[in-house]
Amino acid sequence: MTEPSPTSIRDALQGTAPTGAIQVQGWVRTRRDSKDFSFIEVNDGSSLRNLQIIAKSSLPNYAAVQRLTTGASISVTGALVASQGKGQKWELVADNIDIVGTADDSYPLQKKGHTPEFLREIAHLRPRSNLFSSIFRVRSRLAFAVHQFFQERGFVFIHTPIITSSDCEGAGELFRVTTLDPAAAELRTTDGEIDYTKDFFARPTYLTVSGQLEAEALALALSKVYTFGPTFRAENSNTSRHASEFWMIEPEMAFCDLNGNMDLAEEFVKYLIADARKDCPDEMELFAKFVDKELLARLDFVVERPFQRITYSVAIDLLRKSGEKFEFPIDYGLNLQSEHERWLTEKHFKCPVTVFNFPKEIKPFYMRLNEDGKTVAAMDLLVPGIGEIVGGSQREERLKMLEENMRRHKMDPADYKWYLDLRRYGTAPHSGFGLGFERMLMFITGVPNIRDVIPFARTPGSAEF
């Protein structure tokens, strides 16, 4: 008799009728013994919930089953029957239990509370915990929802390069990509500089900070495009909100101004929240119970209410008049800091806020100069608990203005000939934004540290695993 094909624990728990023979595979969470039975809780990661296995003493390897410890992997066949216990609909009465892999007493994920700091040290095992398995299932679901959102609206998914010679943001926070040995004297020019003509790509290249510039080229042919991929910042910032490697979603739309851009960003944020609430109910309940008791009410509030929109100058005025003592100064021409953004969303408006029209001096070269000659058509979408979650702008589509912006930012237009060509050949107003996927996950799960929504975080001084 052949064994049945494996069934996920999620599917087994969602069964509608008893089943004579199924097979499940997973890892032991707990085991307790009575006189004639052992009760084993097993989880395969497909669901937050465990499936209870009833192991009778008549099993040929019952003595080995009684030695099973937390973390061991097993394969079980048997009958799915209505559970006699509370809180579960089904349980599995085992006909056969194969012990696939044992776990010794040093297994660090015992049935007790563990701190996030400890779990980061065992990032290879923490997905087996309830919290982290839930986080990574929600991450998976939201990645799917990102594609669903844009595909439903006629966007084309594009892949922009990870290795680039363009610094999109101009901040210099770049990881260099090279095959050169920096100690080799023969790779230096006569004035001691590195001779990049001898490097793999024959020019300085970096890990991308954004796919935006390439996305603009595609948008000015395909009208509406989006990227979703890893980006890198060599920013020595050890905060709970920054990582050196993170994922970004970047739509770009031709024939779209700043207002259309803000509309899409706000709609997108609401869509992702609603999707997680609908498709991950067990996980969201766990976050609300153990991570942030206000989470569900806050998320529902964001979905149901319109976003507040204010100009940067209004935001500065509100902050100045707030009477709050901030760590960072509030002056026109300075970037808003996280504490300022959170005051606007959490204390003043008590809802998400989209700030737009920033001073040109604090924004990158590609943003469209407004008619006042002082501000650019930029926008930041701020949410409670996090601060900025989306940053975007209408792009400068006028060739001469873009060249002037580049020179003002001490950039050589000759280095960006291809980008300027987009303004020479059929230019059009276009807009786009970037949403940090991990920051969105932090907002939706209530998890306060970006290191805990990435399976293997890359932060300054840390690249384990």
Q: Alpha-carbon distance 111 to 70, whole Å?
A: 8
Give residue-wise pLDDT tens across range 218-244: 999 999 999 999 999 888 877 877 889
Which pLDDT belongs to residue 113?
Answer: 82
Give residue-wise pLDDT tens across range 283-327: 999 999 999 999 999 999 899 989 999 999 999 999 999 999 999
Percent of the chain with pLDDT over 90: 78
Give residue-wise pLDDT tens across range 334-374: 999 999 999 999 999 988 999 999 999 999 999 999 999 99
Give residue-wise pLDDT tens across range 181-221: 877 767 788 787 888 888 899 888 999 999 999 999 999 99
Domain architecture of the chain: domains with CATH:
9-101 (2.40.50.140), 128-174+209-452 (3.30.930.10)
Which pLDDT belongs to residue 438?
Answer: 96
Give residue-wise pLDDT tens across range 42-79: 999 999 999 999 999 999 999 999 999 999 999 999 99
Which pLDDT belongs to residue 464?
Answer: 86
Provide the whole-model pTM. Answer: 0.93
Which pLDDT belongs to residue 196?
Answer: 86
Q: Alpha-carbon distance 262 to 62, whole Å?
A: 62
Minimum mean pLDDT range among 224-228, 413-417, 451-455: 413-417
- Secondary structure string (H, E, C) spanning the chain: CCCCCECCHHHHHCCCCCEEEEEEEEEEEEEEECCCEEEEEEECCCCCCCEEEEEECCCCCHHHHCCCCCCCEEEEEEEEEECCCCCCCEEEEEEEEEEEECCCCCCCCCCCCCCHHHHHHCCCCHHHCHHHHHHHHHHHHHHHHHHHHHHHCCCEECCCCCEECCCCCCCCCCCEECCCCCCCHHHECCCCCECHHHCCCCCCEEECCCCHHHHHHHHHHHCEEEEEEEEECCCCCCCCCCCCEEEEEEEEEECCCHHHHHHHHHHHHHHHHHHHHHHCHHHHHHHHHHCCCCHHHHHHHHHHCCCEEEEHHHHHHHHHCCCCCCCCCCCCCCCCCHHHHHHHHHHHCCCCEEEEEEEHHHCCCCECECCCCCEEEEEEEEECCCEEEEEEEEECCCHHHHHHHHHHCCCCHHHHHHHHHHHHCCCCCEEEEEEEHHHHHHHHHCCCCHHHCCCCCCECCECCC
pLDDT of 376 higher than 60: yes
Give residue-wise pLDDT tens across range 143-179: 999 999 999 999 999 999 999 987 666 556 899 999 9
pLDDT of 421 higher than 60: yes
**Confidence bin at 4 (pLDDT 50/70/90):** confident
Among candidate residues 269, 233, 292, the one with its CA nearest the CA of residue 354: 269
Which pLDDT belongs to residue 169?
Answer: 61
Which pLDDT belongs to residue 75?
Answer: 97
**Which token pair is 299?**
């998320």
Pairing type for strands 51-56 and 90-101 reads: parallel
Which pLDDT belongs to residue 1?
Answer: 56
Which pLDDT belongs to residue 168?
Answer: 63
Which pLDDT belongs to residue 3?
Answer: 78
Average pLDDT of the residues of the chain: 93
| Average pLDDT rounded to a whole number, residues 427-432 | 98
Give residue-wise pLDDT tens across range 263-288: 999 999 999 999 999 999 999 999 99
**Confidence bin at 399 (pLDDT 50/70/90):** very high
> For residues 94-106, b (16+ Cβ closer than 10 Å) or e, as one string?
beebeeeeeeeee
| Average pLDDT rounded to a whole number, residues 389-395 | 96
